[in-house]
Amino acid sequence: MLNRPGPSRTSAWILLIFIYYIAAASSFGGFFTKWHFRDDSPMSLRLALDGTQKRPFVYRQLLPSTANLIDSVIPEKVKVPLLHKLAGDTPDANPIQRFFPGATDAVVPEYAVRYLIVYVMTFLSMFAALFVIRAVCIELIGDRVAATLAPIVISAVFPLILTEGGYFYDMPEVLFMALGIWLTLRRRLVSLVVVVFLATLNKESYLLFVLTLYPIAAMRYSRPQSGLLIGVLLAVAAAVNMAVKHRYMGNGGGMMEYQLAEHARFLLNPLNYLRTEINYGVSTTKGFHILHLLLIGILAKIGWRSLPPAVRTQTWLAALISVPLFIAFCFKDELRNLSLLTMPFAFLVCATISVVLAQTEKQGAHQPVMPREREPLLAQGERASAGLTTRNST
């Protein structure tokens, strides 16, 4: 191995920020191309901003409420030219609608500014999530190279998880789950409570994610302390849930829709494991495709044993909670509803990359040194040009 100087810390961070920005942009573009903000549908951002969506979609109020708040404090001298740019008479003036013609609500004057705000916040959520996932993987797996690569994999795969729907709160959910684990590991309890509050405003199911934090908390606290911490966090999440549901109790719809029979029929049909869809402009496998199941099996075979016991326990706990609920209450093949398994999947990817890299390094360390007379001609020529050729053995 050649001794080469490593990059400075500043240079390394500049490279990482750029790479993660491109990864997040690709992931967000893949999501937004497929689903936009569900414009012209009963689940649209436009209805969320008005608070008139049906339940349970109306419960996901963090980004819409934030956009409404920001919009209310923007000075008129700033808002007027901005609105003219976003919803004026000039064709294709709105940068969102220019590249995504299906984003029809982005040019409606009443919503254009708030639409843009949610658009930016959704992207920034994925961008920030990559850094937090990396930090958590470093804490739990310990391999900095694997921890740096794993978030890129997660960002690339994320649009494939949005099989039957995609929403503005999906990417913030990933950020909040990663933050929940990281803050628990770092014992930042006040910040953790704030994150639970915001995350539950973003999506009410974060209460279930809090339950999966117990094994992680037990890595830093005693069992009684861990139980007390999870109890406090559950109380915060439950209080937010009750307040939001009381606020929108008059909206139509319901908290859940029972779909066990239909979902069971879907899962028992072998043809549904061969479906495809379009992602990133090309045909890809979809949902519970047999290839996806095979890839999960390969990851588990390589990386599962390398995961810390607490992560394995969290994975089983997340599966026990989410899989029955997914089958009974969620739409067929909508993988985004298995979101409690997103972070365990990230850890499994990181552990697998770490194992593969370790095996590669081990093989390289035992690689026999090739006699110089048998080296490739290119290598000999390089040494000759450097004045390092060996004496002819003849």
Predicted TM-score (pTM) of the model is 0.90
3-state secondary structure of 234: helix
Helix boundaries (H) for 74-213:
76-87, 95-99, 112-140, 144-161, 170-186, 189-202, 206-211
Cα 309 to Cα 139, 215, 218, 350, distances in angstroms? 14, 9, 11, 15
pLDDT at residue 361 in the model: 82
Task: Compute the distance between CA of residue 251 and CA of residue 259 in angstroms, rounded to an integer.
Answer: 21
pLDDT at residue 88 in the model: 78
Mean pLDDT by 10 residues, the chain (394 residues): 69 96 97 94 94 93 97 93 84 83 92 96 98 97 96 97 94 98 97 98 96 97 97 98 94 80 90 94 94 96 96 97 90 90 97 94 68 48 45 41
pLDDT at residue 135 in the model: 98
Sign of CA dihedral 320, 349, 128, 122: negative
pLDDT at residue 259 in the model: 82
Task: Compute the distance between CA of residue 274 and CA of residue 278 in angstroms, rounded to an integer.
Answer: 14
Residue-range domain boundaries for the chain: 20-355
Task: Compute the distance between CA of residue 265 and CA of residue 237 in angstroms, rounded to an integer.
Answer: 34
Q: How many CA atoms lie within 13 A of 119 on its CB side?
A: 25
